[in-house]
A and B are shown apart, each in its own frame.
Chain A
Amino acid sequence: MNDNQLDRRVERAFGKITPDVFDSVLSDCRRQKGRIIMAESRRSRGGFARSLAGIAAALVLVLGAAGGIMSYGAAHSPVAVVSLDVNPSIELKVNRNEKVLEVTARNEDAQTVLGDMDLKGSSLDVAVNAIIGSMLREGYLSDMANSILVSVSGESQEAAAAIQQRLSRKVSAMLEGGSFAGSVLSQVVPEDDALKALAEKHGISVGKARLIKEITALKPEYSFEALVPLSINDLNLIGGSLPDISMEGGSASDKNYIGQDRALTKALEHAGIPSNVIQGVKAELDLENGIMVYEIEFSSGKYEYEYEINASSGEIIQSGREMVEEIEALAEQHAEEWKAWADAHAEEWETWAREYAGDWEAWARDHGDEVEKWAEKYADDWERWAEAWGAWADSYFDF
């Protein structure tokens, strides 16, 4: 049995035991879409209940106590939750008249922002005004960090969307009046117990949890946990545009960081290359091991360069260079010969590998530590070499 036969045998066996969950996935996909329709139908019932409440109010004169209970219920039950996240994270529960029923500070910064303001009973718009004003005064919103997330959830998606649109416009206009342009992210958060539990577990608002989930869905290289400590501005910087998040105003501020241009200059200084001979420059803000970094890529002559630069300090965290073109050119030149040689010697090679497999295993057992040490020492060189060689080999061998 050769490696290819073994692979096919393993593939076949795993193909057979893979359960077929497709129908269940598809029906869950549809159900999640259907939720919006259900929410609408709930809302129309809400409208009916409201008109009933209207009639009941008229009947108060006649029935007294009974009508009183109904209007008490309507005024005191929350129909929507609005959260404002910058780094301070504040949640407002409002009733159907958009009067604030409850204010929750989700973190210490939020307590600073709220101070001794008593927002209970005020209208939602007044409360948001006061909170944004305080965030500006306390310096949480500034030209260094200009992003804010407005999240709205409620029984009715449509009503929540209306609040979302109004508030995001309002907040954007408020920030525009100041000395810098804000970047206002907003979203309607669907009712989702799993999301609530996730937010609770990490001590963040449901809105921020949803934003992080959106980012990790688009960029699976980030884990949820790694993004939890980031401010909305940093999430805005690395998240880019997301399907379910609306954006108003300008883009996220990177003034807290050294900026792409300075990061590129640092990389060029390190590489000892003048800026007029480089091509294909890519510079991106990224999160690596909890640190914001600029990932810089460019090529010059035969070489491709890659840098990772600490976005706050400008320190070079990683640098690398690859001689891609030369190897490609060489490979191109000798591809036919090499392939012919490999085809001609395939059988010999197999025999040799079979014959010596035992010896090799025994040798590896005895020299395991040395090999590990050696491999560790040359790991980077080996990776670079393998990368360049592998790219070429891929087009000829399925090794």
Chain B
Amino acid sequence: MSAICMTQVNEQKDKSPNALDSYIRLTAQGDSEAFARLYQATSSSVYAFALSVLKNSQDAEDALHDCYLNVYHSAAAYRSAGKPMAWILTIARNLCLQTLRERRRQAEVPEEDWERLLGQTPGLSQDDRLTLRACMEALQGQERRILLLHAVAGFKHREIADFLGIPLATVLSKYARASKKMKTILEKESFR
């Protein structure tokens, strides 16, 4: 996959269920450009979700990698139910749960140092850094997952409730709380 092709893809990220459905169908036929488009349109959702569950950038990157390997291999078995993003994120969620299970047998995973990590990532504006830190440090786990599924994956509240298996009322109130916390931090334009 050439760099030129990737930038073209970048310009027209289409996250609509129809577009994603057709990318998956073409991926199943071995079309690697469609696979690249699928990746471009959905990878930040997968990564954000993995990060919100695993709270460690290395583990989240591994989950991202394995998720698309799985997507590639199970594309042929995908049956459209109009929910391609939920299908991909379900694969990601299962990989994350597996990682969490493996972790339970290991020693404590060190807390990610967000400030250092964000300092090392090129191309981030001050706003981006503030947003990311607020999201990772100020929100509780469930609040963070709900906000990210809404903002990055574009899920409706009802879809989030389905996906996380929690009542819609909980999703609505936690989303409201998360958004309020975020706005308070971002509008003060400072962290703590």
**Which A residues are closer than 8 A to B by beta carbons?**
1, 3, 6-26, 28-29, 32, 216-218, 220-221, 223-224, 242-243, 357, 361, 364, 375, 379, 382-383, 386-387, 390-391, 394, 398-399
CB–CB B1/A10 < 8 A:
no
Contact A19 B47 (CB under 8 A): yes
User: Are A9 and B131 in contact, CB atoms less than 8 angstroms apart?
Assistant: yes
- Within the complex, the shortest CB–CB distance from A361 to chain B, in Å, comes to 8
CA distance A10 to B178 in the complex (A): 12
Hey, which chain A residues are within 8 Å of B124, CB to CB? 13, 16-17
Q: Assess the B39–A25 pair: CB atoms within 8 A.
A: yes
Asked if B158 CB lies within 8 Å of chain A CBs, one says yes
CA distance A394 to B121 in the complex (A): 37
- A1 engages B186 (CB within 8 Å): yes
Q: Are A375 and B186 touching (Cβ within 8 A)?
A: no
Question: Please, which residues of chain B bring their CB within 8 A of the CB of A14?
Answer: 44, 47-48, 51, 132, 148, 151-152
Report the minimal beta-carbon distance from B36 to chain A, rounded to whole angstroms.
6
Contact with A along B154-180 (1 / 0, CB 8 A): 001110010000011110010000011
Number of A-B contacts (CB under 8 A): 139
Chain A residues positioned under 8 Å from B115 (CB to CB): none
Binary contact readout B37-52 vs A (1 if CB under 8 angstroms, 0 otherwise): 0011001100110010
Minimum distance in angstroms from B120 CB to a CB of chain A: 10
**Given A6-B179, A22-B1, A399-B156, residue A243 in contact with residue B44 (CB < 8 A):** no
Closest 4 CB pairs of A and B: A7-B151, A390-B158, A10-B151, A18-B47
Determine whether B140 belongs to the interface, using a CB cutoff of 8 Å to chain A.
Answer: no
**Interface status of B77 (Cβ within 8 A of chain A):** yes
Q: Which residues of B contact A383 (CB under 8 A)?
A: 167-168
Task: Kindly identify which residue among A18, A29, A242, A379 contacts B43, using a CB–CB cutoff of 8 Å.
Answer: A18
Pairs A–B under 8 Å by Cβ, sample size 13: A3-B179, A8-B151, A13-B129, A17-B118, A21-B64, A21-B65, A24-B65, A217-B74, A220-B91, A357-B180, A382-B167, A387-B158, A399-B156
Which single residue of chain A is at the shortest CB-CB distance from B186?
A: A1
Chain A residues near B36 (CB-CB < 8 A)? 22, 26
> With an 8 A cutoff between CB atoms, is B23 at the interface?
no
Cβ–Cβ contact A10 & B44, under 8 A: no
- In angstroms, Cα B38 to Cα A26, docked, is 12
